[in-house]
Chains A and B, each alone.
Chain A
């Protein structure tokens, strides 16, 4: 088994990429399924408004910290509350593609900077 050098992309890497692409295409399920069976937010991830409905007030710290960071693609959407399920799914899918690509590139660069062991 060759121990050094850059190898051409092997069969395993190709299979993993195909699996990842298939998983990305599945991501709209992650937004559609909860809507169809009427499931709410993940536990403990409510907005301040939802918390107020649950307990009757907004905790001071939550009021202070919520919105401290304005994420460019907050909620895996490109902004605004879109009521169209089709558009929501599409934005979610695009967010999945962008996020997965970013994660891959960043983790690749970071580990490339860290790892020197050529074996």
Chain B
């Protein structure tokens, strides 16, 4: 899901850089307003968690590899704005230090995994769970939020890749950037996430949320809104 350099045309990566930076600027203000100092160490750990879980590549035998992102869990526990900050940090380090995801594509990757995904996950969790503290409901809503948010993020990524042949094709008809069109890119990106990686994201989200539900439910942003001391 980390788009490398050379896969997106400037017509795609420049606007996505702009969108990422603009929304991240809003996130800074929101986090300043609604997150307390006690959350600072947790934001650090969330970034580390996201970094590590993205290294745990899982294979589809004979096919491709993929991984969870952790953004759903972070969005539910710390809120979507703090999650976008934490996951952005992980993605920036992956691109700059480890070459995972391109420099030109960093805005797109961060828009997908650090903005779109945590907000989708948060929205789905709130839709399904509301402020409920019923164990089964919290766990099921967490799984679905993790699963669907990763699958939808993969589809968004497939969409960004799939529009490239429409945007940028040379006079000889050859693609200038990502070569596969929407009819290939979207299903290809969706498949692995539907059958495996999304399930991992869902399970991790549900498992950790079960722990938080049992011993730290007052910390869960999506249930308490505003955190431990509202």
Contact = CB atoms under 8 A, between A and B. Distances in A.
B175 A59 contact: yes
Contacts of B57: 30-31, 33-34, 42
A76 B55 contact: yes
Contacts of B102: 65, 68-69
Given A39-B65, A72-B97, A104-B47, A66 B176 contact: no
Nearest to A22: B52
Interface residues of A, number: 72
Contacts of A100: 48, 51-52
Contact of A116 (B32, B43, B49, B94): B32
Interface string A35-68: 0011111111100100100110101111111111
B59 interface: yes
Interface residues of B, number: 83
Interface in A76-102: 76, 92, 95-96, 98-102
B35 A111 contact: yes
A26 B57 CA distance: 11
Contacts of A107: 43-44, 46-48, 85-86, 89-90
Given A60-B170, A106-B47, A12 B216 contact: yes
Contact of A61 (B98, B158, B168, B185): B168
Nearest to B90: A103
A3 B229 contact: yes
Nearest to B67: A30
B51 A65 contact: no
A39 B60 contact: yes
A111 B39 contact: yes
A23 B2 CA distance: 21
B50 interface: yes
A93 B185 CA distance: 31
B3 A57 contact: no
Interface string B1-23: 11111110100000000000000
A43 B61 CA distance: 14
Contacts of A117: 32-37
Nearest to B1: A42
B130 interface: no
A60 to B, nearest CB: 5
Contacts of A54: 179
B31 A59 contact: no
13 contacts: A1-B228, A13-B42, A27-B56, A43-B189, A60-B170, A66-B4, A71-B98, A73-B99, A95-B55, A108-B43, A110-B85, A112-B40, A114-B32
Instruction: Enumerate the 9 nearest inter-chain pairs by beta-carbon distance, A residue then B residue, closest first.
Output: A39-B59, A71-B99, A107-B47, A108-B44, A65-B6, A62-B6, A74-B99, A103-B47, A34-B59
